[in-house]
Amino acid sequence: MPAPNLNIFGSGSPRARRLSTSSSLAPKRSCMSRSCMPSIFSAVRLGVYFGVLVCTVICLAIAVHFESVLESSDLTHFVPFAIFVSVASLLVILALLLSTVLKQRLPISTRMEMASLGLLAVLWLALGSYLAVSEAAEADVECFSSDSTVADPVELPGFTTAIFHAQYRVLEAFSIFNLILVWGFLLVISFLAYRQHRKGYKVWLYPVPAYPWFGRRTGSSPYMHNSQSQSQSQSRNKGLPIPVTAKDNHRKGSTRRSPAKTVDAEKAKPEYRKSAFWVILNDLAMSTVSHFVTVRRYTYAVVFVSACVVLGLGANFANLFLPHINRPFVVFAVVVPAFTLVTFLIISQRSRPLVDLILLFILDVLWLAMGAWSTDIIGGVQCFGLTGTQPTKTGTMPATTYCYEMKSIEAFSWANFGILTIAFVVLVILINRLASYGQFGGWNTSISEVPWFGQPYQGGQFGPYGGYGGNPQAMFAGNGQMPYVIQQAPGHSVVIQPNPGGMPTVAQVPGTISG
């Protein structure tokens, strides 16, 4: 069986600085001690990232070269995918390197860096697998002149089958090399983070280059867990006498009361370590940070990934169809996800509820139009039964492939529309709930101050009903209901009268009432 051919249309003829080991989070010691291990780890991290950066630039250059000389066909689908993976890797690696330089202004937490590395690992795994099994690896190159009317291939010394195979092998090799680097460093950082988490340190919230992964930590270290700092403060008071709060139990023969438990008996109990899942849930429950910020971050991350998928499919359609075939839909399929990505990158760090609401409405309408348009084109078609071809700007493509890609755009578009609609409704409900806390200007507050359901309002300087914060008296309604607050006016007395079968009657009268 002859090898498949790749067609080409020609134009007719063919000073050194030493890295500082000092850190504001760890004590300064000699570079010969074990405390220098975090600096060595940071150097290894930078070396891995620079290696990935160099390999990515090489892959991008080869893919762009293939895009400029090869005719689009079923054998060249790896080219736009390689360009997409390389560009995404460049953006992520440059962001991580920039965060290393600007630790204070642009910090990236450990969990965010691990998520970024996980995304790159999946992309390079997909590209390496695609290049390894693609039929283009054994394809022959045929060159054609655009000025000649003869359909016979011509010789092009600058690009032959041997040169194509060599460049293809280089692209495949550097893709696999990037795959090994990213996956290897991801596994290493995952192991180190899990080990620090098992020790009780809040490693997930701090940047990777600033965390002392192998260094010693003192009790005043900000990476210590709250429970450990409390246990250390309790150990300092070990020599103090234990306060006596009750009389000694002289009735030793009595079985009505059990002897009081001593501190030694409490310490003798085995201490069970909680799993990582329950530790994270406990940290979320006890933290004063709004849970809405965490939910918002993960929601936007899901929409961001879906938009990346649609953008990749739209870019593939643009490469196959533009500028003459199905132009309006292809342009719209590229603009909508690109606008979504730029919008989320802008508002991910700092925003206001009103800005979020307006942008969510605009994005919701755009993804609704995207889903409706794709449904109108391919909604009722069954892809597995297609046997024809779909015209492209340089030939044809299998109708089954086109159908599956359109179905993917349709599915991700409707998914983004549903997620954004839910986010829009939840944001409106949460801002309306702020009025019950006296924060009537909730639309202009910071997005980080918006409380989640069941979480009290933490921001602002006003009390629950618009008055300045002080020491208000709290009246409990009973039956497990929430208390209500009584603001006592100056020079007045609060009179509380019982009301059988209902809430007590509260009134304020001028002067002082003595009972």
DSSP string for residues in 177-206: HHHHHHHHHHHHHHHHHHHHHHTT--GGGS
Domains of the chain, by residue range, sit at 1-10+35-231, 288-472
- Model confidence over 387-432: pLDDT tens digits? 888 888 888 888 888 888 999 999 999 999 999 999 999 888 888 8
Find the largest Cα–Cα distance for the chain.
115
Q: Take residue 424 and report the two structure tokens written for it.
A: 């829009």
**pLDDT for residue 285:** 43
- Distance separating alpha carbons of residues 7 and 307, to the nearest angstrom: 32
- Given pLDDT bands bounded at 50, 70 and 90, which one contains residue 511? confident
Tokens 């839909």: give the residue.
Answer: 329
**pLDDT for residue 147:** 56
Contact 110, 206 (CB under 8 A): yes
Q: Take residue 332 and report the two structure tokens written for it.
A: 């719209």
Count of C-beta atoms within a 10 Å radius of residue 268: 8
- Distance separating alpha carbons of residues 97 and 36, to the nearest angstrom: 21
- Model confidence over 131-182: pLDDT tens digits? 888 887 787 777 665 555 545 555 555 677 888 888 889 999 999 999 999 9
Which of 294 and 361 is assigned the larger pLDDT? 361
What DSSP designation does 73 have? S
- Distance separating alpha carbons of residues 381 and 404, to the nearest angstrom: 10
Q: Take residue 11 and report the two structure tokens written for it.
A: 């134009």
**pLDDT for residue 436:** 66
- Model confidence over 480-494: pLDDT tens digits? 444 556 677 777 787
Q: Is the pLDDT of residue 252 over 90?
A: no
Tell me the residue length of the chain. Answer: 515
What DSSP designation does 207 have? B
Contact 144, 150 (CB under 8 A): no
- Model confidence over 6-38: pLDDT tens digits? 555 444 444 333 434 444 444 444 444 444 444
Mean pLDDT of 306-331: 87
Is the bond into 323 cis (omega within 30 degrees of 0)?
yes
- Distance separating alpha carbons of residues 76 and 84, to the nearest angstrom: 14
- Given pLDDT bands bounded at 50, 70 and 90, which one contains residue 51? very high
**pLDDT for residue 344:** 87
CA angle 384, 390, 395 (to 5 degrees): 140
CA 243 to chain centre: 50
